[in-house]
Chains A and B, each alone.
Chain A
């Protein structure tokens, strides 16, 4: 199981970069003595719905063109197909960006959650280990249990907002890492 043993370990990437130990990356509010220990993204399996949707919609013109061509002219048909595939491309691109940039980060000092809703709305939540009161894992259902992904909830003390890592791989290992860093 991937697990950090030393404070400055060797980078390792798992599950299509959805579980990264000591990744070579930086983020916006990172301080000079802060090191990224863990970078988390949603498990790749959770991205299948939009991938399958894009594939299915890409195939529709091959069957639908015979029906649509009886209503529209050739130029209009080309326009419809052009628009159709442009929208599929945009949908796929946005979905990928949403997966890529919605991350959870655990550093040697704190825990952060980057949320980008529809790419246009940004929310960054952070909590120092001193403020972390409880870390919980929720793994419900056959598929999350079989493929080992789930939700990690980091509860913070007082009125600070809680942090959530949703549908991340190896959630139990994530909790172990956070607890070990919090004890230091």
Chain B
């Protein structure tokens, strides 16, 4: 991809749409990072206090990570 292509890409978007795209990429990336950290934190919490949740908490945590990934990929590729 040449510089001209990148330039044409950004100038083809309105300023508002560009803002939403950049915001989505940055926020989505941070949200994804947070969701990944939460998986580890839940494991630490469960080691500290053994709650008999049958794996529901980790499942919800993976679900959160999935949502975060969807948001990030959507902002990166579709917007």
- Using a CB–CB cutoff of 8 Å, the interface residues on chain A facing chain B are 24-28, 71-73, 75-76, 78-80, 82-83, 86, 89-90, 93, 97, 100-101, 103, 114, 116, 119-120, 122, 124
Contacts and interface: CB of A to CB of B under 8 A. Distances in A.
Interface of B: 16-17, 20, 24, 27-28, 31, 34-35, 37-38, 41-42, 44-45, 47-52, 57, 60-61, 63-64, 67-68, 70-71, 74-75, 78-79
Given A79-B79, A119-B45, A120-B41, A86 B68 contact: yes
B55 to A, nearest CB: 14
A28 B47 CA distance: 6
Contacts of B71: 79, 82-83, 86
Most buried by A among B45, B49, B78: B49
A27 B20 contact: no
Contact of B24 (A83, A89, A114): A83
A93 B60 contact: yes
A101 B79 contact: no
24 contacts: A26-B50, A72-B17, A75-B79, A76-B20, A79-B20, A79-B24, A79-B74, A79-B79, A82-B74, A83-B27, A86-B31, A86-B68, A89-B63, A90-B34, A90-B64, A93-B64, A100-B51, A101-B48, A114-B49, A119-B41, A119-B45, A120-B37, A120-B41, A124-B48
B38 A119 contact: yes
Contacts of B35: 90
A103 to B, nearest CB: 6
A75 B78 contact: yes
A120 B44 CA distance: 10
B50 A122 contact: no
A25 B20 contact: no
Contacts of B44: 122
A27 B57 CA distance: 17
Contacts of A82: 67, 70-71, 74
Contacts of B50: 25-27
Nearest to B24: A79
A25 B35 CA distance: 27
B51 A72 contact: no
